[in-house]
Structure 1
């Protein structure tokens, strides 16, 4: 027959046996993990603080609580609240069988407890399993959400990107222009078109043409600011949107640098390749604000004015040019500014 105290230790790992003098005679194996050192031989009421239903000051008061459920805590660990049932041991002492109640998750984390530190039939074990399952599920959900968000971001980025050059595409241009149209930010639109590109494509092949477009994209990145939006609008047509830039002198310098960089001789697959560039520029004006679509149309009109003026130059839009290609006239005053 297993001795009673041994059996108690096996079945109730969170128990404390208190003798008639109020000293602790035996503790369960899990009590020893609660960070209060060796409890055997210490006075129970000096080691534990009973919060309710009463606060006894001696062994008589503690025995009077027999059959009642206590709320108590270790004085060395006041942050963890315990529940305890007081049982009269019929020998002048008591047995206090404890649990952590709803604080079990905090206690497990704080003291490094495992399922073995609880009675096999304790509901705390099931709660721990549920908590672990919940944590695993949340981790899996977070991982899944991260993957989904990453995939969505990648898809959105791909949808806004030109597959050949890595620049933005027309969809990105429309989105950016819509935002600028709703803001008070001044900005400029530069419409850049390559000169003699069709001849390169026709005589040297599309592979060389694609390589030229990649070189042009690289040159555009090198000449523009980080905040500028670089767009391949289609074929050999590019658009640059410059938020916060409406100074004509700076736009003159930028356009001249772009034309020079794009027109620099290049060698592709052992072949000398030369293209040029023409640029039309339209600038937003706070005193005469127009919608983004109109500004892009004006930049397009200015581009064709540049091409009609001999190519390889940049032209600012002016009211004398009209609002569309069908209205375009080419007074001498509208050429390179």
Structure 2
């Protein structure tokens, strides 16, 4: 029989059994996973052999010599073990065990390290490969997350007006296409700033940019979460209101926008004053051609411009006697 220290090194999960079935010696890894002392205990009281099923005594255990047996500890974590028994010619036996395919759960459950396995055990290399694969998978997931974030950010930039932070024309086309496919009711509000050119010509483009950002913030404050505010270009804006909305409510929003836009903005110690003309068009039961509704909102906008500016009009609304149909309190 090999000396104890050699057995501990090359077979850290071995057991030396007396003819009586008692454990005379156990490898260090088995001591680590067993909740109870092993030396002196009966093998079949510490371990449950469930394949072959008929092993209930030392005699039957010795009859499994050279065959793979499956067993588990009766106490503690009941990790499945694999083993092979070799008789020692003196009525006793040597049993060498391993975790087999359950090595990963054993490492986790018992906090095992490479020193708990034989130097030639392929389980150690498998653990390194699993760790390397896990690290590679983590790196891949992190990379995919970053790429996805970059794609989302790029898409967001592609649909955003860089000056105001509102949606741009590309985003508007996508929103209108969605309403077209869903045959959903919606309303358009076309907004054009009055007297904006004078601000640009008098105070410069920096002042004009300040006004545009100010107007964008007003629109963001006024609209609902699911509505879309768009800078079409220059000093023109569109708001898309999803769902059915009463004309009275749309008129209230338009009037509020005009009032707030007319509040002066300070730039370099000077006041920037603009107003807004607004045209409104609605599609109560969806629309096949969104461009048609855009044209209607555009026509209503220019009706407001012709009527004196700083007011709103609905498409198809007859002008009131002596002036526009809606004066927004002007």
| Bucket of the pairwise TM-score, normalised by the shorter protein | over 0.9
Question: Partner residue of 2:211?
Answer: 212
Question: Partner residue of 1:262?
Answer: 261
Aligned 1:142-291 pairs, distance under 5 A: 142-286=141-285, 289-291=287-289
Q: How far apart are the structure 2 equivalents of 1:57 and 1:50?
A: 8
* CA shift for structure 1 position 245: 3.9
Q: How far apart are the structure 1 equivalents of 2:54 and 2:111?
A: 29
Answer yes or no: is the 8 Å Cα contact 1:282–1:295 preserved in 2: yes
* CA shift for structure 1 position 86: 0.6
Aligned 1:288-303 pairs, distance under 5 A: 289-303=287-301
Q: How many residues are aligned here?
A: 326
Aligned 1:73-92 pairs, distance under 5 A: 73-77=72-76, 79-92=78-91
TM superposition score normalised by structure 1: 0.92
* CA shift for structure 1 position 184: 3.8
* CA shift for structure 1 position 54: 3.7
Answer yes or no: is the 8 Å Cα contact 1:20–1:59 preserved in 2: yes
Gaps of 5+ in 2: none
Measured against aligned partners, the alpha-carbon deviations of 1:198-234 in whole angstroms (never above 9, x if no partner) come to 1111111000000011111111112221221111111
Q: How far apart are the structure 2 equivalents of 1:303 and 1:274?
A: 20
* CA shift for structure 1 position 148: 0.4
Distance 1:212 1:35, change over 3 A: farther
Question: Partner residue of 1:70?
Answer: 69
Q: How far apart are the structure 1 equivalents of 2:264 and 2:324?
A: 29
The alignment partner of 2:188 has SS state of strand
Question: Partner residue of 2:44?
Answer: 45
Question: Partner residue of 2:313?
Answer: 315
Q: How far apart are the structure 2 equivalents of 1:79 and 1:253?
A: 72
The alignment partner of 2:55 has SS state of coil
TM superposition score normalised by structure 2: 0.94
Answer yes or no: is the 8 Å Cα contact 1:17–1:95 preserved in 2: yes
Aligned alpha-carbon RMSD (Å): 1.9
Question: Partner residue of 1:304?
Answer: 302
Question: Partner residue of 2:19?
Answer: 20
Answer yes or no: is the 8 Å Cα contact 1:318–1:334 preserved in 2: no
Q: How far apart are the structure 1 equivalents of 2:153 and 2:197?
A: 33
Answer yes or no: is the 8 Å Cα contact 1:35–1:111 preserved in 2: no
Distance 1:166 1:109, change over 3 A: same
The alignment partner of 1:30 has SS state of helix
Q: Is residue 34 from structure 1 mapped to residue 33 from structure 2 by the alignment?
A: yes
* CA shift for structure 1 position 36: 2.4
Q: How far apart are the structure 1 equivalents of 2:244 and 2:192?
A: 21
Answer yes or no: is the 8 Å Cα contact 1:259–1:276 preserved in 2: yes
Measured against aligned partners, the alpha-carbon deviations of 1:10-67 in whole angstroms (never above 9, x if no partner) come to 1111112221111112111111221423222221111111121343111111111111
The alignment partner of 1:189 has SS state of strand
Question: Partner residue of 2:110?
Answer: 111
The alignment partner of 2:79 has SS state of coil
Q: Is residue 336 from structure 1 mapped to residue 326 from structure 2 by the alignment?
A: yes
Q: Between 208-217 and 42-51, report the one with greater CA deviation.
A: 42-51
Q: How far apart are the structure 2 equivalents of 1:3 and 1:47?
A: 24
